[in-house]
């Protein structure tokens, strides 16, 4: 039986931290699906189509990684793709409470669905999409924090504004 895991997120935009986690995760599963949340209530900087395209380009070298978008409950989405595991990253203790709450809620919704946490490379422990957007929007460099396609997309997006 194929072991499939889903790595969900907003990915607005995808960072080297996300990619480091996906690279670690993909070694433990036959298939890893990066699932980009579409129905975001917060106004994303990049549309769902843009976020999916940026993630897809960034994971292109990895044959067992797929990219998809989803709406609604993550537990339902995981079931629809036959995933038994949700993969999430914990960068620091401050991530823990939010991640535990989500893991418990997802267990309540789908008792057979396990959440697995991995720790990204410590070089990315301070990297978040929110800070990347803020720094790039203020003209700072995020070149070593995001892949080149994202860096270009950020420059384009902020030069349009």
- Angstrom distances, CA of residue 99 to CA of 43, 102, 117, 140: 22, 5, 9, 29
From the list 102, 118, 119, 131, which residue makes contact with ligand PNS (rule: CB under 6 A)?
Answer: 102
31 is catalytic: no
Contact between 73 and ligand PNS by CB under 6 A: the answer reads: yes
91 is catalytic: yes
Helix (H) or strand (E) run with residue 69 in it: strand 65-70
Nearer to ligand PNS, 102 or 118 (CB): 102
Nearer to ligand PNS, 42 or 159 (CB): 42
Burial class, 13, CB count within 10 angstroms (exposed 0-12 / middle 13-18 / buried 19+): buried
Please state whether the peptide bond connecting residue 90 to the residue before it is cis, i.e. omega within 30 degrees of 0. no
**Which member of 16, 18, 51, 88 is catalytic?**
18
Stretch that binds ligand PNS, among 5-13, 21-29, 46-54, 130-138 (CB under 6 A): 5-13
| CA gap 52, 35 in Å, rounded | 9
- Angstrom distances, CA of residue 142 to CA of 38, 92, 96, 138: 24, 20, 25, 11
161 is catalytic: no
129 is catalytic: yes
Residues whose CB is less than 8 angstroms from the CB of residue 50 and which lie 6 or more positions away in sequence, other chains included: 153
Contact between 106 and ligand PNS by CB under 6 A: the answer reads: yes
Contact between 8 and ligand PNS by CB under 6 A: the answer reads: yes
From the list 9, 25, 84, 147, which residue makes contact with ligand PNS (rule: CB under 6 A)?
Answer: 9
From the list 19, 22, 48, 74, which residue makes contact with ligand PNS (rule: CB under 6 A)?
Answer: 74
Q: Which residues bind ligand PNS (CB under 6 A)?
A: 8-10, 37, 73-74, 102, 105-106
Q: Could you give the residue numbers annotated as active site?
A: 18, 42, 91, 129
């Amino acid at each position: 039986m194929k072991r499939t895991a889903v790595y969900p997120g907003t990915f607005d935009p995808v960072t080297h931290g996300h990619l480091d986690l996906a690279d670690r995760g993909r070694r433990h599963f036959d298939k890893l699906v990066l699932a980009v949340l579409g129905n975001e209530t917060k106004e994303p900087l990049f549309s769902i189509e843009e976020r999916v395209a940026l993630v897809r380009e960034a994971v292109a070298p990895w044959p067992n990684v797929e990219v998809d978008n989803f709406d609604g409950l993550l537990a339902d989405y995981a079931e629809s793709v036959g995933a038994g595991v949700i993969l999430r990253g914990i960068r620091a203790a401050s991530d823990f409470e939010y991640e535990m709450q989500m893991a418990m809620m997802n267990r309540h919704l789908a008792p057979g669905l396990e959440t697995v946490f991995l720790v990204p490379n410590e070089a990315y422990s301070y990297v978040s999409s929110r800070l990347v957007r803020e720094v790039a929007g203020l003209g700072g460099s995020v070149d070593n924090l995001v892949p080149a396609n994202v860096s270009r997309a950020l420059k384009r997006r902020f030069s349009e504004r």
